[in-house]
Amino acid sequence: MSQNPSPTEKTDAALTFGQSRPTGCIVLNDGQIFYGNGFGATGTEAAELCFNTAMTGYQEIMTDPSYAGQVVTFTFPHIGNVGTNDDDDEATAPWAAGIVVKWDPTDPSNWRNTNHISEWMRKNGRIGVGGIDTRRLTRSIRSLGAPHAVIAHDPEGNFDTDALLQMARAFPGIEGLDLAKDVTCAQSYRWNEMRWAWPDGFTPNETPGFRVVAVDYGAKRNILRCLASAGCEVIVLPATATAEEVLAHEPQGLFLSNGPGDPAATGEYAVPMIKTVLEKTDIPVFGICLGHQMLALALGARTIKMNHGHHGANHPVKDLETGKVEVTSMNHGFAVDGQSLPDTVAETHVSLFDGSNCGIAMRDRPVFSVQQHPEASPGPQDSFYLFERFVSEMEKRVKEPV
């Protein structure tokens, strides 16, 4: 694989778009350069480069706070075909730094569309590059690991590749970074909106039951909707909430959300909070993604950086208790080291792709977590039982004799 395309290769790439020169490029920190057609916002952005194998949900992926600090390469070639709309946002704005696609975004053809993805990205300051050999790029990421990269879009096609390469190499990377503080809510709030359902769309939970404090490390809206749909009264607190702030709401359950960054860095303040809550109460605890990693750290396990992570909506995960295999959605570049779990904690789920840990549970308490995203439901309902299990554990605690 050549690292720097020859002038002929640059011309061939440009001819794909019927113009004099390419208007977008991706420069990897190992010197590889990919030329294509820029769309969305103009400019440059340095980030970690990952790939996602999902065939649907590109808007949800881009607005997932867990993608902060990352550029997403989509292996599915047709991006933009359903357009964009406000209902599918998982946060108030996109958090992915940019996207890389095989074909230029197509015109939308869907009754829910309200805006072309190119215009949506331009308005939100996000860069896209199309016309890229995403198969070649993905193979490079799988072989060499998730690289540091710069994505660039210039309508005139003027790229100082030497400067972009230095920018990619200067990017510090995600390892060691606490990004949860960047994506969390600024203050606490209540959430009662339930999952979308035909024909009324999103409706409020008018009869909430158990009071759950959800710690927002980068929570997706649909996770909060699943909690509300399961019958919870949800109080969302910022990532830096202390145990005292959590317990002040007298919760009947504690939820730890998904989020971006290095779990060890976020754990500097999250782990003490979780430990204190576990020491002072016996309430059920449920974690997802980064919340899973926070719980594992609090219980004495370790986390490790993965070569290229798990990003997609087709990841098979085995429930070791039931033997069932769930088709799940995943987005993580770090994993819990299953070999580091203490005797008091059981491994409950594993990835059938690489055997990595995907779930844990305390052996003597209703405290559990999973690496996958059960709210995304690619199965489509394979993992929703986890929300029901969380509520069931709260019900058991209420019924227990004093």
Lowest mean pLDDT among 257-271, 274-288, 364-378: 364-378
**Averaged pLDDT for residues 206-225:** 96
How do beta strands 70-74 and 285-288 pair? Answer: unpaired
- The first and second tokens of residue 87, run together, are 């209902």
pLDDT the model gives residue 8: 30
pLDDT-derived band at 11 (thresholds 50, 70, 90) equals: very low
Specify the higher pLDDT residue, 3 or 353: 353
Positions marked catalytic: 289, 373, 375
Q: Rounded to whole angstroms, what are the CA distances from 308 to 4, 57, 158?
A: 23, 20, 31
Query: In this predicted model, what pLDDT tens digit does every residue of 35-62 receive, in sequence order?
Result: 999 999 999 999 999 999 999 999 999 9
Cα 176 to chain centroid, rounded: 17
Q: pTM to 2 decimals?
A: 0.93
pLDDT-derived band at 380 (thresholds 50, 70, 90) equals: low
Question: From the CB of residue 307, how many other CB atoms can be counted at a distance below 10 Å?
Answer: 12
Query: In this predicted model, what pLDDT tens digit does every residue of 118-157 receive, in sequence order?
Result: 999 999 999 999 999 999 999 999 999 999 999 999 999 9
293 three-class SS: helix
pLDDT-derived band at 382 (thresholds 50, 70, 90) equals: confident
**Averaged pLDDT for residues 219-229:** 96
pLDDT the model gives residue 383: 84
Specify the higher pLDDT residue, 13 or 363: 363
Lowest mean pLDDT among 183-187, 282-286, 324-328: 324-328
pLDDT-derived band at 15 (thresholds 50, 70, 90) equals: very low
High-pLDDT (> 70) share of the chain, %: 94
Alpha-carbon distance 55 to 47, whole Å? Answer: 23
pLDDT the model gives residue 116: 97
| Sheet order of strands, 253-256 included | 189-191, 232-238, 210-216, 253-256, 285-288, 367-370, 357-362, 345-351, 303-319, 325-336
Specify the higher pLDDT residue, 9 or 21: 21
Delineate the domains of the chain, giving CATH numbers in brackets.
7-170 (3.50.30.20), 180-399 (3.40.50.880)
Quick check: bond before 199 cis, omega within 30?
yes
120 three-class SS: helix
pLDDT-derived band at 19 (thresholds 50, 70, 90) equals: low
pLDDT-derived band at 208 (thresholds 50, 70, 90) equals: confident
